[in-house]
Amino acid sequence: MRFFWCLIFVFIQFAAHSQRIDTLSISFVMSDPSMLQAPIDTTQVKNDTLLLRAFRTQMAIDSIIEYSKRFIGTPYRYGGRTEKGFDCSGFMQYVFGQYGFELPMSSSSQFNHGTPVQMDSIRKGDLIFFKGRNIKNSNIGHVALVVDVSDKNDVQIIHSTRHGLRIHWLSEEPYFTRRLVAYRRILKD
């Protein structure tokens, strides 16, 4: 019975959205009069849709993060985009690609792909970008995936480094902290 109501709810959402109506009345022939519904306020349906979309996004983020952790210890390979070895951008492209999200090949191209995010709005699933080895050069040279954000705004990242695929807190890595450039959000609610 619950499945039936879920299907009805999805149909109502679709009908309300596709026909752009403000209210939608539905009546059912049932033996239990308490199951009859009053007109549905599509504002609430839209809010529910937004919540559902946010829930789906969070599930995708959690899945991407858990999947990415499978590769901890995988060796670094310049230009690597397979489970045999990754470079930083190849790892992001591979992991997001497994969930149907296409990312460009280079970290500088990935930097241009997402939506800018301020440090106080950073969340799991965002990408974090760094300068390359030459700290005086402002070009993007490295990318990592945000795995967690602490209460103190410390950021845990997973990325492919010359030491292989690693996960660590940004505060523990002054090399990367000094090179941090920006954050980007790939997955939107």
Q: Is the pLDDT of residue 162 over 70?
A: yes
Catalytic residue among 113, 159, 163, 168: 159
Catalytic residue among 17, 113, 142, 168: 142
Please compute the mean of the pLDDT values over residues 1-13 and round it to a whole number: 40
166, containing H or E segment: strand 164-169
Catalytic residue among 88, 113, 163, 168: 88
- Looking at per-residue pLDDT, the higher value among 77 and 189 belongs to 77
Q: Using a CB cutoff of 8 Å and minimum separation of 24, what contacts does 109-112 make?
A: 110/143, 110/184, 111/140, 111/143, 111/181, 111/182, 111/184
Please compute the mean of the pLDDT values over residues 55-65 and round it to a whole number: 88
To the nearest whole percent, how much of the chain has pLDDT over 90?
59
Mean pLDDT, all residues of the chain = 80
Q: Is the pLDDT of residue 30 over 80?
A: no
pTM: 0.73
Please compute the mean of the pLDDT values over residues 172-181 and round it to a whole number: 94
The Cα–Cα gap between 42 and 44 comes to: 5
Q: pLDDT confidence of 21, banded at 50, 70, 90?
A: very low
Q: pLDDT confidence of 121, banded at 50, 70, 90?
A: very high
pLDDT at 37: 53
Contacts with 165 (C-beta within 8 Å, 6 or more apart), sequence order: 71, 72, 73, 74, 75, 76, 86, 91, 158, 159
* CATH class of the domain at 63-185: alpha beta
Please compute the mean of the pLDDT values over residues 65-89 and round it to a whole number: 96
Q: Sketch the domain layout of the chain as residue ranges.
A: 63-185
pLDDT at 138: 86
Q: Contact 176/167 with Cβ under 8 angstroms?
A: no
159 in active site: yes
Q: pLDDT confidence of 57, banded at 50, 70, 90?
A: confident
Q: pLDDT confidence of 79, banded at 50, 70, 90?
A: very high
Please compute the mean of the pLDDT values over residues 182-189 and round it to a whole number: 89
163 in active site: no
Q: Is the pLDDT of residue 54 over 60?
A: yes
Q: 61-84 burial, b if ≥16 CB within 10 A, otherwise e?
A: beebbeebeebeebebbeebbeee
Of 134, 178, 142, residue with least CA distance to 159: 142
